[in-house]
A and B are shown apart, each in its own frame.
Chain A
C-alpha cells in the first residue's frame, strides 16, 4: 500500500510542474505590460526610468525560464509572492478565499455523492419503473444545465420571488441579523445546494448502471438465498461491488466541482477562490493567478490521490497489484 501511494505521488509531481509551467507561459504571453498595468495602465503615466524600475522590481526584465525558476524557488519556500494589486502576501490573503471555497465544495461533493448513491441505487434496484423514469428524466435535464443557469434559477425562485434565502454573499455583511444558526447557515444553502444537485445529477447515472449490472451477479442471488434481508443485500453486496466505477466517476468529477465553484461563486458573490482568481485575471495580478492555479491543480491531484486510496481500499485486487 505504501509503495502504491508513493508511486502515485511521484506521478503527481511532474503533473503539478506541468500545470504551473503552462499557466506561467500563458500569462507571460499577455500583450500589454504588467508593469504599466500595475502603475495604472496609461502609456505616458510615468517616465521611462520609473517604468523600468517597476519592471526590474517585479522581476519582469528577466527571460522567461529564469522568471519561472525563481518563482518555483519562492514557492518551495512557502512564499507565494505579493499581490501586484494590493501588495499583500498572497499566501496570507488567499487562505480566506480557499477556506470559503472548501466550505462550498466539500459539503456539496459529499451531499451530491450521497444523493447520487441513494437515488442511483433505488432506481438501479427497480429499474424501468415510474420512479426510475422520473428520476432519470430530471437528472438528464440537470446534467445539461450549466451551473450558472441552475444557480440563477434557484436564486430567482427561492431568494427573489420568495425570500427564503439571501440573494448572495457568504455571511451577514452588516451585522444586522441575530446570530442564530439559521442566519449563519442560510447563506450556504443555495450555493452548496446548486453544486450538490449538479454533482448528484452527473454521478447518478453511473451509480444506477453499476447497480443494474451488479444485481444480476451470482453472489447477489446467493446472498438472497442465504436469507439475508434486502437491505443487507443492497449495502454489503451490491453497493460494495458497484463502488469501483462509482469512485472512478466521482474522482473524475472533481475538476468539474472546481469549475462549477468558479461559476457559482460568481453568481452568489461568494468570495472564494473562484471570485478571487477572476478579479486577479482581469487585473493581471500574476502572483495571485499562479497561486490559485497551483492550489487548484494541487487540490485536484490530492483529490485524485484520495480517490486512488479509496479505490485500493474498496478493491483489494488493486492494492496487491
Chain B
C-alpha cells in the first residue's frame, strides 16, 4: 500500500472478488453510459424528479383546490388532462402526485436501507447468538406477505404521508440485510480487517468505515431495486385508502377513483395518466438498477 492510502479506508486489491467503491473503479460512469436503456431510465428519472421538485413552478393549477364550476371535464385547452369530480386539474395533480409518490418512496428506502445495513452488518460481523436471533427474525419478516402487514400497520397508525413512509420503510429491509450480512461474512476475515482489529480499532468503526464502503456496490443496486418496491407499495396502500390520504394527490390514490364503475367508464382521463406514470417510473427505475448492476460488475 502506498503512503497516500494510510488513514483512508482500505479497499481490496482484488476487485473482482468484492464490488468496490465507484471511485475506486475507473470508468464506472463510462460503462454505465454504454448501456442504452440505463441511460433512458436515468433520463426519465431525472425528468420526473425535476418535475417533482419544481412542481409548484410548472403545474398550472393548485392541485388540491376544488373548482366546482369545472367538474368532470374531459381534456381541453384549459385543463390539458381534464378535471376530476371536484374540479381539480388532473395534470397538476399528476405532477404533485409524482412529488408525493417519489418522496414517500425515497424516504421509505432511506429507512429500510439504514435498517437493512445495520441489521445485516451487525448480524454478519458479530455472529453467534445475535446472528441466529436476527436471522430468525428476518425469516419471519420475509415469509409474511408484506402488504398485509403494511396495511394493518397503516390502518393502526392512521393514513398519512409520514405514516406511509414509515410503514413501507419498516417492512422493506429484509433482502438488504441478507445481502449485507453476506458481505460482512465475506470481508471480516480479510487481512486488512484483521490488521485493523490488531491495531486496536473499535469494532463499530471497523464495521462502518472499513466494511461498509467496500460493500457499496450491492448496496446501491439493492437500494435502487427497493425503490421500485417502495413506489409499488405506496401506490397499493394509497389505492386501498390507507396510504396518502386525499385530497393530497398521489399516483396511487388518484387511481382509487377507478374502483367506482361510473368513473372507470366515464372518466378515463382521471385514472389512466397516473396508472401510466406508475408503470413508466417503475420501468425506468428497473432500467437504472439493471444498468448499475452491470456497471458495478466489471
- Bound form: Cα–Cα A48–B268 in Å: 51
- Residue numbers in B under 8 Å from A30 (CB-CB): 156
Complex Cα spacing A300 to B261, Å: 33
Q: A19-B140, A152-B258, A263-B239 are in contact. Are A144 and B286 (CB under 8 A)?
A: yes
Give the number of chain B interface residues (Cβ < 8 Å).
38
- Check B147–A259 contact: CB distance below 8 A: yes
Q: Which of A254-284 contact B (CB under 8 A)?
A: 255-256, 258-259, 262-263, 266-267, 277-278, 281-282
Given A263-B239, A267-B259, A140:B286 Cβ within 8 A: yes
Give the Cβ gap from A156 to chain B, nearest Cβ, in Å.
Answer: 6
Contact B279 A149 (CB under 8 A): yes
What 1/0 mask marks residues of chain A from 149 to 170 whose CB sits below 8 Å from any chain B CB? Answer: 1001101100010000001100
**Interface-located stretch among A20-28, A77-85, A180-188, A209-217:** A20-28
Q: Are B255 and A148 in contact (CB under 8 A)?
A: yes
| A255 in contact with B156 (CB, 8 Å) | no
Residue A296, interface by CB 8 Å: yes
Q: Is the CB of A281 within 8 A of B155?
A: yes
87-146 of chain B: CB within 8 A of chain A: 136-137, 139-140, 143-146
A301 contacts B143, C-beta separation under 8 Å: yes
Q: Which residues of A contact B145 (CB under 8 A)?
A: 255-256, 258-259, 262, 296, 300
Task: State whether B143 touches A259 (Cβ < 8 A).
Answer: no
Chain B proximity of A108: nearest CB distance (Å): 15
Which residues of chain A are within 8 angstroms of B240 by Cβ–Cβ distance?
Answer: 263, 266, 278
**Residues from chain A with Cβ under 8 Å of B236 in the complex:** 146-148, 259, 263
CA distance A289 to B156 in the complex (A): 12
Q: A175 near B: Cβ within 8 Å?
A: no
Task: Answer yes or no: B235 CB below 8 A from chain A CBs.
Answer: yes
Q: Which chain B residues numbered 240 to 265 have a C-beta less than 8 Å away from chain A?
A: 240, 242, 255, 258-259, 261, 264-265
Closest to A259 in B: B147
Bound Cα distance from A156 to B148, whole angstroms: 26
B147 near A149: Cβ-Cβ < 8 Å? no
Contacts of A152 in B (CB 8 A): 255, 258-259, 264, 271, 275
Query: Within the assembled complex, what's the spacing in Å between the Cα atoms of A140 and B41?
Result: 13
Residues from chain A with Cβ under 8 Å of B143 in the complex: 15, 19, 255, 297, 300-301, 304
The smallest C-beta distance from A265 to any residue of chain B, in angstroms, reads 11
Is B81 at the interface (CB under 8 A from chain A)?
A: no
The verdict on A99 contacting chain B, using a C-beta distance below 8 Å, is: no
B149 within 8 A of A: yes
> Which residues in window 261-291 of B have CB below 8 A to A?
261, 264-265, 268, 271, 275, 278-279, 282-283, 286
B24 is an interface residue with CB less than 8 A from chain A: no
* Nearest chain B residue, comparing its CB with the CB of A147: B236
Q: Does B152 contact A (CB under 8 A)?
A: yes
State whether the Cβ of A293 lies closer than 8 Å to any Cβ in chain B: yes
- Please give, as numbers and ranges, the residues of chain B lying within 8 Å of A6 by CB-CB distance: none
B interface, over-half SS: helix
Q: A146 to B148, Cβ gap below 8 A?
A: no
Does B220 belong to the interface (CB within 8 Å)?
A: no
- Cβ-based interface call for B10 (8 A): no
Could you say which residues of chain A place their CB within 8 Å of the CB of B146?
255, 259
Q: Is the CB of A168 within 8 A of B156?
A: no
By beta carbon, the residue of chain A nearest B274 is A149
Q: How far is the CA of A27 from the CA of B236 in the complex (A)?
A: 20
Whether the pair B259, A297 counts as a contact (CB closer than 8 A) is no
Cβ of A145 within 8 Å of any chain B Cβ, yes or no, is: yes
Which residues of A have CB within 8 Å of B136?
14, 18
CB-based contact B147/A18 at 8 Å? no
Nearest to A167 among chain B residues (CB) is B261
Contacts of B147 in A (CB 8 A): 258-259, 262-263
A255 to B261, CA, bound (A): 29
* Among candidates B152, B268, B278, residue contacting A289 with C-beta atoms closer than 8 Å: B152
Residue numbers in B under 8 Å from A263 (CB-CB): 147, 236, 239-240
Residue A29 interfacial (CB < 8 Å): yes
The contact sample of 27 A-B pairs, CB cut-off 8 A, is A18-B136, A22-B140, A23-B152, A29-B156, A31-B158, A140-B286, A141-B283, A145-B278, A145-B279, A146-B235, A146-B278, A148-B235, A149-B235, A160-B264, A160-B265, A167-B261, A255-B143, A258-B147, A259-B147, A259-B148, A262-B148, A277-B151, A278-B240, A289-B152, A296-B145, A297-B144, A301-B143
List the 4 shortest-distance A-B pairs measured between CB atoms, nearest first: A18-B140, A144-B282, A259-B147, A258-B145
B interface residues, Cβ below 8 angstroms from A: 136-137, 139-140, 143-149, 151-153, 155-156, 158, 228, 232, 235-236, 239-240, 242, 255, 258-259, 261, 264-265, 268, 271, 275, 278-279, 282-283, 286
A: residues with CB less than 8 A from B are: 14-15, 18-19, 22-23, 26-27, 29-31, 140-141, 143-149, 152-153, 155-156, 160, 167-168, 255-256, 258-259, 262-263, 266-267, 277-278, 281-282, 289, 292-293, 296-297, 300-301, 304
